[in-house]
Structure 1
Amino acid sequence: MPEGQFKDGIAAGRLSPSQYADNFSDLHPPLDRHEATVEADRCYFCYDAPCMQACPTSIDIPMFIRQIATGNPIGSAKTIFDQNILGGMCARVCPTETLCEEVCVREVAEGKPVQIGRLQRYATDTAMAQQKQFYERAKPTGKKIAVVGAGPAGLACAHRLAMHGHDVTILEARPRPGGLNEYGIAAYKTVDGFAQAEVDYLLAIGGITVENGKALGRDFALADLTGEYDAVFLAMGLAGVNALHAEGEDGPGVANAVDFIAGVRQADDLGRLPVGRRVVVIGGGMTAIDAAIQSKLLGAEEVTICYRRGKDNMNASEFEQDLASSNGVTIRHWLQPKRVVSVNGTTVGVELEYTRMQGGSLVGTGETMTIAADQVFKAIGQSFDVGPLNGSGNAIALEKGRIKVDEEGRTSLAKVWAGGDCIYGGDDLTVSAVAQGRDAAESINRTLMG
């Protein structure tokens, strides 16, 4: 084991190159043709298709599985892409265990659902590997639409608008398009640069221009867009990170889990990423799980997730919780942070208070405990930054801190639609963002074309 493994504090190079490569290999290796055919044959092709009803994008799941079973993965991919142009990424990152696979008749009867996600990946990967393009642009309409944000919602909206013949400009604040798919997903879930490959595949339809490094409120105003374009789709995601409200949370060794995950995703050399020997992650969602597991995979010896409520209240699925445990992560419940303990400018632990439910509310018991830690990650959710938005012109109506939209994604401002995590009702799922972007595009098209 490399010498770095024994370093106290936060250090890089804790593992050998081969260990990093093994740790960050594909979480679910792709099915080959034979495996996909055998798995597809397990499907009952239910006439009422509960799996289809559970899919936010309403993919015809029995149809695409039947197409795989009959040796037609390209046709299967088209069935998927017709509803979800980002079906390749969703096949990798969707919590299928709580969506389509949870309601699979095989799951209900036998406890072993058809592996819908892996079958979806097999079909979409086959089409993308062959660069099979299913869609052509309609006759140019002369209409111009601005999309703010190149995440799942923005990309899905742009692609559907381009299909209808509109010209689309995507304005993205980060150096690369992809949003959550590029910066916010655990590296072992999307290996080999798949996020960018999928973006390239989507943009191949034409009619879409991506301008990176362009941020709303800094480089342009919403009023500029509504004046220059026929319609605007807002898909900025969530830029803010919620505070712990704990003493010392801005001290050394404390970082945002979302920034840590983005750093892992963009790293050219995992051996250069520093990680603590003892890591504590505060939170109970997917971000907390991803940060904790990747800390362990980078060489941390002890990783603990602390969540203020019980196991059943965690936003992370049971599958993800089990995945964390199988990677050596300890999950502790009914604990909330009180203080990040530092000695001589170095983080040495986290003081936490035990919690319990009282009269329907979460309260602290007054009893505390301390967990040794030299690195602490905050993963208690993200918030929508309204400053750039409402500082750009007339204020858009908000609801509970996010953009308020109707059933078609229209905001309170004329010519402006929104979707993805920035809207009220968003559930922080890639597949839901895709559905919202797709449906908003159809609404925009109907509006513009009369």
Structure 2
Amino acid sequence: MAEGQFKEGIAAGRLAPVQYADNFADLHPPFDHHEALVEADRCYFCYDAPCMQACPTSIDIPLFIRQISTGNPLGSAKTIFDQNIMGGMCARVCPTETLCEEVCVRETAEGKPVQIGRLQRYATDAAMGQGKQFYQRAPTTGKKVAVIGAGPAGLACAHRVAMHGHDVTIYEARPKAGGLNEYGIAAYKSTDDFAQAEVEYVTAIGGISIVNEQALGRDFSLAELASKYDAVFIGTGLGGVNALRAEGEETPGVESAVDFISVLRQADDLTSMPVGRRVVVIGGGMTAIDAAIQSKLLGAEEVTIAYRRGKEHMNASEFEQDLAASKGVIIRHWMQPKRVVAEGRRLAGIELEYTALSDGALVGTGETVRLEADQIFKAVGQTFDAAPLNGSGAAMTLSGGRIAVDEEFRTSIPKVWAGGDCIVGGEDLTVSATANGRDAADSINRALA
């Protein structure tokens, strides 16, 4: 253990350099050929398979596993990509334990599901590693489509639109394409710059151009795009971060967990990535888990997740909660932030109030506890920033703070579709955003035909 680990405050280099590579190694190493065959042989190839019904993109899971078992990984990859062109990343980050694997018959019978996610990675890695493209563009139609946001929804939409023969321009606010996959996923879940490799694979179909560092509402308006393009798709995700609603949360050292994860993902040298000695993360979802685990992997001595409800209410899956515990993260339930404690200008801790349910409503009990902390991460959810939509001509209809769409992902503005986390019902999942983008693209194609 590096001597620097015990420095007070927020500091870099808490571990010996060799430890960072070990700590941030691939969470689920890929199957080799033999392992894939053995695992595929466990599948019952169910008729009307529950795993397929649980997949938001409706991948024919029994078929792709059977193709692996018969020595046809490229055929398996095509089965996956037919439904989910982002299948490589989804294989790495999907919460399969609460989707396809949760309903696997092997899970029901034995408590050990077929490892569908790792098998999906085996197949998609085989195809991407060989640069195997399964789709050709239809003859060029001369129609132009703009996509706002190069995240999973935008990339999936762009690929399917391009496949139909339309020309696509993606406008991305950040320096790199990939969205959540590039900036919002824990580093140990997506190694070796896979997000960028996937962007290159998806756009290799042709007819797709990406313009980086162009933001809606700053560099262009929705009305401008709608006047220049035959269709527009909005896949901007969620840009805002909810407040703690605690006294003193503007104290230096109180940071957004989303920003922390983003900076870490772009860091070339993890030894230079600063982290507190005692870290408290407020929240109960995947972002909270990712921020907490990575704080621990960077060398934080003590990391605590504080969540306002019980274990069973956490949005993070039980697997992710157990993973956090296995890394030494402490998860404390039934407490909500009340006051950030500062000593002078230095963050010293956070005062939390115990909570309870009263007639189904969450209430504070009045009893408090103080946790020492020199770094606090806010992971209490994100919000859609509708401000960039202003000045777009007709007002965009929102519902619950997000874009309202119909069953075809059309917004209230003609020629404009939307999908992913920014729409009503967005699920904050790569796989769901991909499904939205794919289906919106087919809707756009029907409208342009």
Q: CA deviation at 1:87?
A: 0.1
Does the Cα contact within 8 Å between 1:221 and 1:393 map onto a contact in 2?
no
In the alignment, what sits opposite 1:361?
361
In the alignment, what sits opposite 1:45?
45
The aligned amino acid for 2:188 is: Y
Matched, 1:68 2:68: yes
Q: CA deviation at 1:392?
A: 2.8
In the alignment, what sits opposite 1:112?
112
The aligned amino acid for 2:50 is: P
In the alignment, what sits opposite 1:399?
399
Does the Cα contact within 8 Å between 1:239 and 1:384 map onto a contact in 2?
yes
The aligned amino acid for 2:58 is: S
In the alignment, what sits opposite 1:256?
256
Query: Taking every aligned residue pair, what percent have the same amino acid on both sides?
Result: 78
In the alignment, what sits opposite 1:94?
94
The aligned amino acid for 2:82 is: D
Give the Cα–Cα distance (whole angstroms) in 2 for the partners of residues 30 and 75 of structure 1: 18
Q: Deviations over 1:59-78 (max 9, x none)?
A: 00000000000000000000
Give the Cα–Cα distance (whole angstroms) in 2 for the partners of residues 114 and 391 of structure 1: 51
1:272-351 equivalent positions in 2, closer than 5 A: 272-351=272-351
Normalised TM-score (structure 1): 0.99
The aligned amino acid for 1:309 is: R
Following TM superposition, the consecutive aligned residue runs of length 4 or more in structure 1 with deviations greater than 2 angstroms are 390-393
In the alignment, what sits opposite 2:148?
148
Q: Deviations over 1:356-412 (max 9, x none)?
A: 011211110011000000000000000000100133332111010000001110111
Give the Cα–Cα distance (whole angstroms) in 1 for the partners of residues 391 and 29 of structure 2: 46
Does the Cα contact within 8 Å between 2:420 and 2:434 map onto a contact in 1?
yes
Does the Cα contact within 8 Å between 2:60 and 2:80 map onto a contact in 1?
yes
Q: CA deviation at 1:153?
A: 0.2
Does the Cα contact within 8 Å between 2:341 and 2:347 map onto a contact in 1?
yes
Give the Cα–Cα distance (whole angstroms) in 2 for the partners of residues 38 and 408 of structure 1: 41
For the residue of structure 1 that corresponds to 2:36, the secondary structure is helix
1:213-292 equivalent positions in 2, closer than 5 A: 213-292=213-292
Give the Cα–Cα distance (whole angstroms) in 1 for the partners of residues 362 and 47 of structure 2: 44
Matched, 1:422 2:422: yes
Q: CA deviation at 1:344?
A: 1.6
Tell me, which stretches of 5 or more residues in structure 2 are unaligned?
Answer: none
The aligned amino acid for 1:419 is: G
For the residue of structure 2 that corresponds to 1:188, the secondary structure is coil
Q: Deviations over 1:292-328 (max 9, x none)?
A: 0000000000000000011111000000000000000
For the residue of structure 2 that corresponds to 1:299, the secondary structure is coil
Q: Deviations over 1:95-121 (max 9, x none)?
A: 000000000000000000000000000
The aligned amino acid for 2:308 is: R
In the alignment, what sits opposite 2:139?
139
For the residue of structure 1 that corresponds to 2:46, the secondary structure is coil
In the alignment, what sits opposite 1:188?
188
1:72-83 equivalent positions in 2, closer than 5 A: 72-83=72-83
Does the Cα contact within 8 Å between 2:6 and 2:301 map onto a contact in 1?
no
Give the Cα–Cα distance (whole angstroms) in 1 for the partners of residues 296 and 205 of structure 2: 40
Give the Cα–Cα distance (whole angstroms) in 2 for the partners of residues 99 and 18 of structure 1: 36
For the residue of structure 2 that corresponds to 1:219, the secondary structure is coil
Give the Cα–Cα distance (whole angstroms) in 1 for the partners of residues 105 and 29 of structure 2: 24
For the residue of structure 1 that corresponds to 2:363, the secondary structure is strand
The aligned amino acid for 1:45 is: F
Give the Cα–Cα distance (whole angstroms) in 2 for the partners of residues 101 and 107 of structure 1: 7
Does the Cα contact within 8 Å between 1:225 and 1:232 map onto a contact in 2?
yes
Give the Cα–Cα distance (whole angstroms) in 2 for the partners of residues 9 and 275 of structure 1: 8
Q: CA deviation at 1:38?
A: 0.4
Give the Cα–Cα distance (whole angstroms) in 2 for the partners of residues 353 and 429 of structure 1: 31
Q: CA deviation at 1:252?
A: 1.1
The aligned amino acid for 1:408 is: E
Does the Cα contact within 8 Å between 1:25 and 1:188 map onto a contact in 2?
yes
In the alignment, what sits opposite 1:371?
371
Give the Cα–Cα distance (whole angstroms) in 2 for the partners of residues 391 and 63 of structure 1: 48
Q: CA deviation at 1:4?
A: 1.3
Give the Cα–Cα distance (whole angstroms) in 2 for the partners of residues 273 and 394 of structure 1: 45
Give the Cα–Cα distance (whole angstroms) in 2 for the partners of residues 47 and 345 of structure 1: 63
Give the Cα–Cα distance (whole angstroms) in 2 for the partners of residues 405 and 106 of structure 1: 38
Give the Cα–Cα distance (whole angstroms) in 2 for the partners of residues 218 and 394 of structure 1: 18
In the alignment, what sits opposite 1:447?
447
Deviates more, 1:356-365 or 1:82-91: 356-365
Normalised TM-score (structure 2): 1.00
In the alignment, what sits opposite 1:130?
130
RMSD: 0.6
For the residue of structure 1 that corresponds to 2:245, the secondary structure is coil
Give the Cα–Cα distance (whole angstroms) in 1 for the partners of residues 263 and 16 of structure 2: 19
The aligned amino acid for 1:55 is: C
The aligned amino acid for 2:220 is: F
Q: Deviations over 1:231-271 (max 9, x none)?
A: 00000000000000001111111100000000110000000
Give the Cα–Cα distance (whole angstroms) in 2 for the partners of residues 6 and 373 of structure 1: 13
The aligned amino acid for 1:446 is: R
What number of residue pairs does the alignment pair up? 449
